[in-house]
Structure 1
Amino acid sequence: MPAPKRTQGSVVLGGREQAQPMADQNLLQRREPDQWSHHDPWRVLRIQAEFVEGFDALHKLSPAVSIFGSARIGREDPMYQAAEQIGRSLGDRGFAVITGGGPGIMEAGNKGAFEVDGCSVGLGIELPHEQGMNDFISIGINFRYFFVRKLMFLKYSQGFITMPGGFGTLDELFEALTLIQTGKVTHFPVVLFGRDYWTGLVDWLRSSTQGSGYVGEADLDLVTITDDIEEAVAAMGIPGQFDTV
């Protein structure tokens, strides 16, 4: 069995080298005041390089839709099968499909697009327990920094389909909603796929968050909740219909 490895941007780490701290971990770690001149200014160049690499790899990408969801589900899960069909339908309509490049729902979305000869993009990230890129990627980029990766999702997508998932999925969802609410992105459809999973969250947002006046009534109309694959795909419009970042 091959020894486990971890990527750090374009670098692959194995053996004891995997004990190196992650790039985001290093960036956010507090240091002694006199250490900044030895670390942070030079780190800016690495961050800049990640932006350049991402822009260079994706600047010719056709209009795309991002699919988010759990890395933890198996191929027998109904949500895996739904994500695969969503990816296939998006590919048939001329969309590129972007995921986080890992297993689970990400793999399923990539697989659906890949198998209809659509462009299937994986934006990987350095994590403590490396997921690795799935086998259905046309274009794959591994990032060190979450914020660089997040920008790539938003810049090159014209909408999000968000399937059941954990903290990472919720993070991407609420960042997108915040940017739409504040007008940073416009005409950006967001679908929550899986009524049983998402209805409780949306009900809580309506009763507690909206009910307390923390968000406006229209803010919760930014999302479509559905169990219907064709409705989810149709909500994305046609390729190139909406402005991107």
Structure 2
Amino acid sequence: MNPPKPWPDPSPVDGVLLSSLKKGVVEYDEVAIESACLTIINRSMDTYMAIFEGLVAGMDEVGRLFDCQEYFVPELLMCADALYTGLNMLKPHIKHNAGGAKIKRDVIIGAIEGDIHDIGKNMVKMVFDTAGFTVLDMGRDTSIDRFVHEAVKLESPLILVSCMMSTCKPRVEKLIRKLKKDAPGAIIMAGGAFIGPEDSISMGAHGGANNAHSALREAIRMLSAVNKMGSISDEQNKPSIP
């Protein structure tokens, strides 16, 4: 069962606005997004809900269209511009109430060495940043040594590893082994085109998710467990969110 969302159920009017945001991202219509965002702000609508059930939901659909080869890189970039148009308008009005419990919110994220793709990583970064996390983005093609160095230096409780190329999966496994040895207190999550939640677990990570929003909720679940119990048990070490 999915944990409850940290926002109320949308009213019928809210639902129309959420649909407008989603459609605006998918159709890279920045004017429509600006109009919807102004209405959302004037209505004092929950902006956290607007971002995740509107903008992020739209980008999830864009990702599906990209995977199906209905959209290509130019469309992807225009959709991302549309998303950030809305995000820049809504973010100043957000209330950082995700997760409930007080947890350390430092995150390290990067694409594994050899992987030059960063659109998915940037999406995850945006979601965590919006939720109030302090995110160190190490960019693309990040070496194993740099991942480990920053994890040890910052004592970050959460490491997010992006991998969009099947040829890079062995490096992810090697990184996970080194992180568990040198930064044993950190929660490790891996994801990407060729790494689903179960794949991430089988590679030795603590969790995984199929999209950016699910990654946030799964991370909060595990960080909250660590905050209460001091560590993640093997039984907790399972993705609970589809």
Q: TM-score, normalised by structure 1?
A: 0.35
Q: Answer with 1 or 2: which has the greater Rg.
A: 1
Q: TM-score, normalised by structure 2?
A: 0.35
**Structure number with higher relative contact order (C-alpha < 8 Å, ≥ 6 residues apart):** 1
